[in-house]
Structures are given as C-alpha cells and as structure tokens.
Amino acid sequence: MKTCSSSYTCPVEATIHLIGGKYKAVILWHLRNQVLRFSELHRLVPKATTKMLTQQLRELESDGLISRTVYPVVPPKTEYALTEFGQTLLPVLESLCDWGTIYLEKISDADCSF
Amino acid sequence: MKTCSSSYTCPVEATIHLIGGKYKAVILWHLRNQVLRFSELHRLVPKATTKMLTQQLRELESDGLISRTVYPVVPPKTEYALTEFGQTLLPVLESLCDWGTIYLEKISDADCSF
DNA sequence: CGGAATCCTATATGATACTG
DNA sequence: CAGTATCATATAGGATTCCG
C-alpha cells in the first residue's frame, strides 16, 4: 500500500493504486459534493470497520486527495473533504459511477444464475 | 473476490470491484487496441507472476470483460481480447490513464520528499 | 466522537517446481 | 507455450477493548 517509491509501468496502474483500495473510491464519491465527519462517513460506508475506515482515510490524506480537519472541541469533531487535487478526480469517479450503473443493470438481468 | 452475491451500496463500488484488482486495469488497458497472447501479456505486466496473471485473467473472463481463445496447436496458443462488454470500459480506462498521467507528473516534481 | 491498540484470522500474493 | 500444483509468507481485514 505504499504509494511512494513504486515505479509504475503505466498511468492506469498509478490511479488504481490510489483509488483502488476497498473503500477509497466510495469514500471519495461520498465526499464529492459535501464535507463529512467520521461518523457520517461511517454511516455511508457501514461495511468498513472503524479501523479500515481510518486507514483508508489516512492513505487518501497522505496522497493529498482529501483533507482532515480536527476541531478541538468536546466531543471531538473531525471533518473530511476533497482537496483541490482530489477534486480533479471527479471526472474519473463519475466515469466509474456511470459504468457501474450499467453493469449493475446487466447483472441484475442475468441475476448470476450459475 | 467473489463478484456474485455482493450487494453494492453504490455503482462506484461495483466498478472498482471488477477492475480494482492489482493488475486488472492494466491488463484491460493493454488489451484496449490489440489481441494478446499469455506470454505477451506477461511481458507487458512482468511484475505479475504467472499464477497471478492467470488468476486475474480468469476473473476478468468470468466477469465477461475479456475472452479467452485457446488454439489446439503445439505449442499451445491462447489469445486474450476485450469482449464487446469489455470495450464499454474504454472511457473509464482512458479517464484512469489521463488522471494517472497528471498524477505522475505531480509526484515526480515533489519526488516524495517527506 | 473519533479514533488508537491489540490480537487474531482470512485472503492475497509470491516462489518454485512440474506438465500436456 | 500456457498454464497448474504446492508450499510458504505477507498483507489485508475483522473483532474487541480502551481512551482523551
């Protein structure tokens, strides 16, 4: 999962390395039009444990795709948002979403009967 | 890695599940404009072991994205190609490639100095 | 609330050898 | 050539508990 020092043979590989994590693309997708707190994200991605969610968020952060803002209040409050650089991913995410929609239609027809 | 019976909460998740594998997007990318034999693919994706390459190819095949044609000759000859459905992924792959290119420029500037 | 720490298991991946 | 089989390990991922 190290991002650095990996030499990629092609750009596609690099992008997948950044957003191909189990929940990363979904997280970015949910952040596309809103700032979200940790618990809000967790509600949107319930399959992720807090550990996984934290891990993926930290990786996205260290890759410069999202920002993490901690408010020193009680109870704690943390907000996650797309960075400017993260926003450049929006066309990619939309294309993933569009194709996924078509794919889901396709398999709901066949309904996986094998 | 099971594709079936996973219920996705959002289409982005579905797409990533199909092409998010370690070498899948790269394989698809290499097949975008040509038919390739196993050994040719292996040369293009040298980091993958034969086991991994086979595995990813079989998954792509069972997801209907690529076709596998075995010619009953000696020595054996197998050709992999995008299916029609696989071709619908081309815009997605291009978008992954475009963004990856920009990303690689960005990190080659900073050169990971933290 | 937003995690961190620990422990544990499952899965992914690699190395190597072998085969029709 | 195009894999398969087997063994070993690394990494991902989950469950649980605890804390400021």
Q: Bigger pLDDT: A22 or B5?
A: A22
Q: How far is A74 from chain B (nearest CA, A)?
A: 32
Per-residue pLDDT of chain A (114 residues; tens, 9 = 90+): 433 335 788 899 999 999 999 999 999 999 999 999 999 999 999 999 999 999 999 999 999 999 999 999 999 999 999 999 999 999 999 999 999 999 999 888 876 544
Instruction: Determine the nucleotide nearest to B57 by Cα–C1' distance.
Output: D3
pTM: 0.91
Is A44 (CB) below 7 Å from strand C? no
Do residues A65 and A18 touch, judged by C-beta distance below 8 A?
A: yes
Is A76 (CB) below 7 Å from strand C? yes
Q: How far apart are CA A51 and CA A54, in angstroms?
A: 5
Question: Looking at the predicted structure, is the pLDDT value of residue B4 above 70?
Answer: no
Structure tokens at B67: 């076709």
**Residues on chain B touching A90 (C-beta within 8 angstroms):** none
Q: Which domains, and CATH codes, for chain A?
A: 5-110 (1.10.10.10)
Q: How far is B73 from chain A (nearest CA, A)?
A: 30
B107: left (phi over 0), alpha (psi -120 to 50) or beta: alpha
